[in-house]
Amino acid sequence: MNDVEVTVMRFDPDEDETPRFDTFPIGAKKNMTVLDSLFLIVEDQDPTLSFRCACRLGMCGSCGMVINGRGRLACRTKIESLGDKIEVQPMRNMDVIKDLSVNMDKFFKNWEKVKPYFVPKEETDEFSVIPPASGRREIIDENQDCITCGLCYLSCDAVALRGEDGYIGPAALNRAYNLIADERDGAKDERLDMVTDRDGAFGCRSFGACVEVCPKGIKPMKTIQKIKTKKLRRSVGLKY
Amino acid sequence: MEHVEADILILGSGGAGLFAAHHAADQNSNLKIIVSAKGLIGKSGCTRMVQGGYNVVLHPDDSVEKHFKDTIKGGGGINNQEMAWTLVNDAPRRIRELETKMGVFFDRNEDGTVHQKPFAGQSFDRTVHKGDLTGIEIISRMRDQLYAKPSVEDWDEVRAIDLLIDEESRRVAGCLMLNMRTGEFIVVHCKAVIVGTGGAATMYKIATPSLEKAGDGLAMCYRAGTEFLDMEMMQFHPTGLLAENSRLNGGVLEEGLRGAGGYLINSLGERFMKNYDPERMERSTRDRVSRAAYMEIMEGRGTELGGVYVDVSHLGKENVRKMFPGMVERCRDVGKDLSVEPVEISPAAHFQMGGVKVSNDCESDIAGLFVAGEDAGGVHGANRLGGNGVCDSTVFGARAGDAAAAYVASLKSQVKVSDTQVHEIIEDIVEPYRRTDGENPFYIRNDLKNLMWEKVGLVRNGKDLNQAVAELERLKDRVNRVAVKGSQKYNLTWQELLNVRNLVTVAKMVTSSALIRTESRGSHYREDFPESNDERWLSNIYAAKGENGEPEYRVDKTKQTHINVKEIQGYQVVATSK
């Protein structure tokens, strides 16, 4: 494989007025990911580059970045898929801590808004008996593996246009849906109201970037639609 | 420098740390609890990376006695039996807590009851799971549930540097922390610390854990003076994915592949386990399967990349894709389709059985210092069963939380942090910034990983171990010569220095303990002593910092408090006949 040029954004908000871009040559090899290339930079070329990662296998959602213009996990993005020039920037819609690492507080503040925790409907120590074929889990299970990487949040136009207080964003709304649809949860109505206010589900414009970038195959646009449907059905007195 | 007061400080946000936080907060919602981690809370550590699942007795035909015996047998008979008994008895409560209090939803049988799948080394199919990426569900729900507990503060990317102990009373006074984002130090003044930062398997060339793990808790406890045991016991997972040139290397392909009937095959196309454990074949325990694979590779029957193959294609393409979607996706990263072809794998360092010596309630020898999860030793003995890891971290995390809350409630006075001690530690930590030229910590880590893999790996001998002991001293000297450039803010090179410093500290205990144990047991295999020797070694090796700062060792018989392991067949390592 050929050498590639990896250009990374450098920015320390305490020191720099504007970001700059540094370019490093990397000898591309089979299997190599963007995360591997960042490690090669910090190990051999510039020890001061900052970025975040943990599991390196797409399970923790720590290494979300904008790679060649699109939100991706650095650990799940092969160099060979990107051509000779690779540009890496921090996630949008969040504040930069330094270089490629961002503060995800805006994302998690919105996550917290949907009451993301389980509220048991009844005090019990027994497992619910729910046959998989019953359909009672609706579409929870296929949308449950969210790793809160924030890629949908950085890619969402509604978030970009309305800001952190104007729209809760795809991941958090997907979490809300999973709880609303969970027959074991006791805060269904309260939560349904919380996520259909001005900053809630009806703010989704169904552009679908969230579905396209999700590294876990989750479809927030679809679960957000389900929230809207549930709210409308409830308001006209139908089963929801 | 910032000073913060708290009742309980929890280091690590994996299964142990988060369960501890929940339980301590449930005991008393007025306690100020801080959970702190090197990464984002809930995103670092290995509970999230659990694939296979959680061993627990739920079925009427199963029993805690069976789970207990499997655990002791797998552990080569040197487990702390009180802890193992606690593990199997508490697990059913913890799994129910996860489902009914935190909203986890495990996979179901067709009739809607909880599904339990087969795992290696177990006499009953008792592994509860969520697909083949169980940890994501467990840790995400535990993390979410913290939002319901405002008394718990979460500190992202704040790592612990050292425990602050009052030397006279041997009590916890606090902990020196480093905010990795700002590069500034924080002194936490607290009554209790719970350590749950995970083990140090990342000291090996091919390793499965999350990259940030560096045995930090173990090294801090060592410096604080706690006693350790079983440090020679390092588990190698048999099926780490081989991905040359990438940190994907060593990513686990889950145990369930073998459980479901997967084959392990050498380059001659033979199912080599027939020569090592003909009865259990691929469903033998991790220690045996890993060693067998390693020996095949060493004897020239390995693949091009120096591995062997795992093959599940005979289970049917659709079945494999349905049962193991996460594993199929992972193999696709190296251009292989697990559902139709064999995939190259190698044993990979996975889990540290050894750790800090604790009581059943996770108390260490230092008052107010609790240790849970992988950082604690004893429960798994010489080898951990697949599926007993997340079981361990949740069971003992909960107990640590309960015990720490009770300890804090019983405390009449608090001891003071020594400013001199804080100052000395900080001077030492920032010293590398004063050097203009010096060692690169990433290169030291690579050398450490190669050294441990080659000389303290799956198959050990006295000569190599002696060389490793000497080589580790040289690495330690190099650690002291590292130079760091740039600011203290989010400086990965500086962080790597702190990581490798801790790894070398732990590696020294691993290597010396391995040299002392002149027999083979569980995951510890000596080619110069290839069989178990109960006469001498149905025992544990303990280590602690001596007067001169170097570790000192002692050996003590394992107490057979519940059952005499000799009543169980097959816990020993016997010479293989090939």
> Concatenated DSSP letters for B355-389?
EE---TT-B-SSBTEEE-GGGB-STTTT-PPTTSH
End-to-end CA distance of chain B: 64
- Rounded Cα distance between B241 and A65, Å, is 25
Residue B451 within any structural domain of the chain:
yes
Sign of CA dihedral B480, B482, B486, B491: negative
Catalytic residue among B23, B141, B258, B350: B258
Q: Specify the 3-state DSSP secondary structure of B206.
A: coil
pLDDT over 90 percentage in chain B: 95
Q: Would residue B332 count as lying in a domain?
A: yes
Question: Among residues B307, B328, B348, which one ends one of the domains?
Answer: B348
For A138-155, what is each residue's pLDDT tens digit?
899 999 999 999 999 999
The pLDDT value recorded for residue B121 is 85
Whether pLDDT at B578 is above 50? no
Domain coverage including residue B281: 238-348
pLDDT at B74 over 80: yes
Q: What is the pLDDT of residue B119?
A: 87
Residue with token string 């994907």: B248
Domain identity same for B440 and B520: yes
Which chain A residues have a beta carbon less than 8 Å from that of B432? none
The burial of B419, by beta-carbon neighbours within 10 Å (0-12 exposed, 13-18 middle, 19 or more buried), is given as exposed
Section B463-472 average pLDDT: 98
Catalytic (active site) residue B141: no
- Residue-averaged pLDDT of chain B: 96
Catalytic hit among B48, B126, B129, B237:
B237
Cα–Cα distance, B340 to B321 (Å, whole number): 10
pLDDT digits (tens, 9 = 90+) for B18-30: 999 999 999 999 9
Task: Kindly report, residue by residue over B324-336, the tens digit of the pLDDT.
Answer: 999 999 999 899 9
Q: Which of the two residues, B574 and B488, has the higher pLDDT score?
A: B488
Per-residue pLDDT at B147 exceeds 90 = yes
- Is residue B427 located within the same domain as residue B343? no
Nearest CB to A127; choose among B102, B114, B491: B114
Residues in chain A with pLDDT < 70? 1
Distance (Å, whole) CA B97 – CA A120: 11
- pLDDT tens-digit map of B547-573: 999 999 999 999 999 999 999 988 999
Instruction: Establish if B273 belongs to a structural domain.
Output: yes
pLDDT of B476 higher than 60: yes
Residue B569 has a pLDDT of 87
Residue B22 has a pLDDT of 98
Query: What is the β-pairing status of strands B152-155 and A85-89?
Result: unpaired
Contact B345, B226 (CB under 8 A): no
Strand A70-73 and strand A64-67: pairing? antiparallel
* Structural domains in chain B (count): 2
Instruction: Specify the 3-state DSSP secondary structure of B5.
Output: strand
A162: contact with B, CB 8 A cutoff: no
Task: Tell if the CB–CB gap between B136 and A175 is shorter than 8 Å.
Answer: no
Q: Are A215 and A147 a contacting pair, CB within 8 Å?
A: yes
Is the same domain home to B447 and B527? Answer: yes
* Crossing angle for the helix pair A105-113 and A170-180, to the nearest 10 degrees: 30
Q: Do A42 and B43 touch (CB under 8 A)?
A: no
Interface test with A, best of B140, B330, B445, B482 (most A CBs within 10 A): B140
Whether B245 sits inside 8 A of A29 (CB atoms) is yes
For the segment B238-250, the average pLDDT, to the nearest whole number, is: 95
* Confidence band of B132 (pLDDT split at 50, 70, 90): confident
CB contact under 8 A, A47 and B145: no
> Residue A179: its chain B contacts at CB < 8 A?
103
* DSSP H/E element including B189: strand B184-195
CA distances from B347 to A144, A203, B205, B234 (A): 31, 50, 11, 12
pLDDT in tens, B184-205: 999 999 999 999 999 999 999 9
Q: Is the pLDDT of residue B574 over 90?
A: no
CB-CB under 8 Å, A78 with B105: no
What is the set of domains in chain A, with CATH numbers?
4-102 (3.10.20.30), 104-235 (1.10.1060.10)
- What CA–CA distance (Å, rounded) separates B121 from A97? 47
CA atoms of B243 and B238, how far apart (whole Å): 15
| Interatomic CA distance for residues B90 and B84, integer angstroms | 10
Task: Name, in order, each residue with C-beta under 8 angstroms of B123's C-beta and a sequence gap of 6 or more.
Answer: B66, B69, B70
ipTM over 0.85: yes
Which of A30, A51, A141 faces B244 most closely, judged by CB atoms? Answer: A30
Last residue of one domain, picked from the residues B326, B348, B370: B348
B67 as an active site residue: the answer is no
- Assess if residue B242 is contained within a domain: yes
- Closest-CA distance, B525 to chain A, in angstroms, reads 29
- Domain with residue B267: its CATH number is 3.90.700.10
Task: Return the percentage of chain B with pLDDT > 70, whole number.
Answer: 99
Q: Does B247 touch chain A (CB under 8 A)?
A: yes
Q: Do B248 and A30 touch (CB under 8 A)?
A: no
Tokens, residue A63: 């290494």
* Nearest CB partner across the interface for A116, out of B144, B181, B442: B144
* Domain CATH code at residue B506: 1.20.58.100
Contact B212/A134, CB-based, under 8 Å? no
Contact of A59 with chain B, judged by CB distance below 8 Å, is answered with yes
Tokens, residue B250 = 């060593």
Among residues B16, B71, B83, B24, the alpha carbon closest in space to that of B47 is found at B16
pLDDT at B576: 62
Residues of A in contact with B246 (CB under 8 A): 31-33, 36
**SS3 state at B333:** coil
Rounded Cα–Cα distance for residues B396 and B403 (Å): 10
Mean pLDDT (whole number) for B508-530: 97
B458-484 average pLDDT score: 98
What amino acid is encoded at B498 in this protein?
Answer: L
pLDDT at B255: 86
pTM for this predicted structure: 0.97
Check whether B141 has a pLDDT greater than 50.
yes
Q: Quick check: B577 pLDDT over 60?
A: no
Q: What is the pLDDT of residues B271-284, one digit of tens each?
A: 999 999 999 999 99
**Cα B371 to Cα B195: distance, rounded to the nearest angstrom:** 5
In chain A, what residues touch B486 (CB-CB under 8 Å)? 47-48
Count CB atoms within 10 A of the CB of residue B263.
Answer: 20
In a domain, B522, yes or no: yes
